Chain A
Amino acid sequence: MQYNVLEYLEDTVNRVPGKMAFSDGNFSVTFAEVYRQSRAVGTWLSVRQYYNEPVVVFMNKHPKTITAFLGVIYSGNHYVPLDEEMPLFRVGLILETLKPRIVICDSVGANKLAGFGYTGMIVEYDDIADSKSDDEVLRLIRDRQIDTDAIYVVFTSGSTGVPKGIVACHRSVIDYMEAFTAALELNETAIFGMQVPLYFDACLKEVFSTLKFGASTYLIPRSLFMFPVKLVEFMNENKINTVCWVVSALTMISAFGALEKSVPVHLKTIAFGSEVMPVKQLDLWRKALPGAHFYNLYGPTEATGMSCFYKVSREFSEGEVIPIGKPFRNTSVFLLKENNEVAGFNETGEICIRGTALTMGYYRSFDKTAEVFVQNPLNKVYPELIYRTGDLARMTEDGDLIFVSRKDDQIKHMGHRIELGEIESQVSLIEGIGHSCCLYDKSTDRIVLFYSGDTDEGVLIKQLRGKLPRYMLPNTVERMNKIPLMANSKIDRSELKRRLNSNIK
């Protein structure tokens, strides 16, 4: 039985040491290099007495960043991926939650942190990646580790304005990877084209599938996702045959009509998730690639990655919703109604998840953890945790789940999970703002901000840019003389929603 995610790498490096593991199109590393460098980083951290604590990795989307993650795991610590495009204010909030003693940077990250109040140790990856590894030091760490030790903390939007850090361990990642790769029938011939940034759990799919099988992953530069024809060229040049992308990345290619000009001909496996795939766009892809397999994926970060999958096996009519399907092996998914009873067929209920794939909860936030990682209300006789997702769904008579909506103000925008409350709380901190309210306009995929106050739109956006990641910035800002309030002086969200709908052309 496997206890540690690094066993994937250790098995593979014996089989195919010289094979390319990760590349960004310019810079590549083989499994032998990944092995050598991650053990060097692990040794370096360990001899300096870092153990079982967060190690921040503040680096760009690059093959070295993955090696840094693995190095942190070798040292028995948990990596925390932060991105250089994150505004420093947000980085500050996350560092405040973590209080890390050490940050691993590339040269850009080091410069950014220098002008910032962080007082702990900063080390550049390139300065430690070629240091000497010590087999004995690493063996002792492995001997004392168990499979419920944490390996990473990833941060997601929090409704009160402070991002939440989700902690995952070896066991849940192994459980997830075994089930995921079996469901998608992946093997060593996979050549992944990674779309997602490295600071989300979503990158586990490519990273650990590659390590498990000795497959290969290309990290696609994010700028290519603006230019569909160039993106397809990149995929064809590198013979990419497997993608797990957010829906908006796939539809960017198909909706612009790029598939009529050039097709990513090597693609065999196309998985998508994080948003609802429009049938019209899926049809364009199926027509362009009739031999490929398509999978709809669903899952929250709190359950490690994906929890359900649906292999597209029939035609869908326009307006029909593609199911999120059935749970992965060794994961149990059920729907609870408001009275905590199981929903019947076609009844709407909250998606609840049970199993080894559950993560440990939120970092330094026992209260928030206890709100959603709760005792299974169906089990009255012994302690058993479930995760309540806040997503509503119904089940068809075939046992397939169909996503319905959210229970709260969490949205998915361009594949990113965002709490509208986090945007509002940052807006309210800006000087000269009266009331503010953020809504999501599903028909145009826009985050719309209504506000009242003396500050003009340009100034407001400029200030927000320093506080929120780019994908959380409102796409439309509307200044009002007065924000409609209800009798209890709370903001009248439904009135603003009506206004939004009447504005739509």
Chain B
Amino acid sequence: MNELISILNGLHPDVDFAEAEGLVDNGVLDSFDIISLVAEIDSEFDVRIPAEEILPENFNSAKALYELITRLGDN
């Protein structure tokens, strides 16, 4: 989780990702961020997020994103 938060902070150093919710709904993340995140998660966690999982609910908080990574990593 800390690794993910540091990736997120690399994109937005001014956001408290441990607490923040609604990252997509409130416009914290934009399309550039999503592209960067998918690439960095691939290289740091060795998890490839497939297109059908790139959905608002999976990117709305660090927690949701971490759950996605864990779920995909288990398979």
Q: A interface vs B, CB < 8 Å?
A: 222-223, 225-230, 248-249, 252, 255-258, 260-261, 414, 445-446, 456-462, 465, 470-471, 475-477, 505
Chain A residue, CB-CB nearest to B24: A226
The 5 closest A-B pairs by CB, nearest first: A258-B51, A458-B14, A457-B13, A458-B13, A462-B14
One of A226, A249, A258 near B29 (C-beta < 8 A) = A226
Q: Which residues of A are found within 8 Å of B43, using beta-carbon distances?
A: 505
Whether the Cβ atoms of B32 and A475 lie closer than 8 Å is: yes
CB-defined interface of B33-65 with A at 8 Å, one 1/0 digit per residue?
011101000010000001110111001000000
Q: Which residues of A are found within 8 Å of B38, using beta-carbon distances?
A: 256
One of B10, B30, B54 near A476 (C-beta < 8 A) = B10
Q: Which residues of B are found within 8 Å of A456, using beta-carbon distances?
A: 13
One of B12, B14, B32 near A414 (C-beta < 8 A) = B32
Q: Which residues of B are found within 8 Å of A446, using beta-carbon distances?
A: 36
Q: Which residues of B are found within 8 Å of A228, using beta-carbon distances?
A: 51, 54
Q: State whether the Cβ of B1 lies closer than 8 Å to any Cβ in chain A.
A: no
Chain B residue, CB-CB nearest to A228: B51
Q: B interface vs A, CB < 8 Å?
A: 10-14, 24, 29-32, 34-36, 38, 43, 50-52, 54-56, 59
Q: Count the A-B residue pairs with Cβ separation under 8 angstroms: how many?
A: 64
Question: What are 30 inter-chain pairs, A to B, with CB distance below 8 A?
Answer: A222-B31, A223-B24, A225-B31, A226-B24, A226-B31, A226-B34, A226-B54, A226-B59, A227-B34, A227-B55, A228-B54, A229-B51, A229-B52, A229-B54, A248-B31, A249-B31, A256-B54, A257-B50, A258-B51, A261-B51, A261-B52, A445-B32, A457-B13, A459-B14, A461-B14, A462-B14, A470-B30, A475-B11, A475-B36, A505-B43
Known: A252-B31, A445-B32. 20 other contacts (CB 8 A): A223-B24, A226-B29, A226-B31, A226-B59, A227-B56, A228-B54, A229-B52, A229-B55, A249-B31, A252-B35, A261-B52, A414-B31, A414-B32, A446-B36, A457-B13, A458-B14, A459-B14, A465-B14, A475-B11, A475-B36
Q: Which residues of A are found within 8 Å of B52, using beta-carbon distances?
A: 229, 261
Whole-angstrom CA separation of A414 from B33 in the bound complex? 11
Whole-angstrom CA separation of A257 from B50 in the bound complex? 7
One of B12, B36, B50, B59 near A461 (C-beta < 8 A) = B12
Q: Which residues of A are found within 8 Å of B14, using beta-carbon distances?
A: 457-459, 461-462, 465
Nearest Cβ on chain A to B22's Cβ, whole angstroms: 13
Q: Which residues of A are found within 8 Å of B36, using beta-carbon distances?
A: 446, 475
Chain B CB count within 10 A is highest, among A226, A456, A462, for A226
Chain A residue, CB-CB nearest to B29: A226
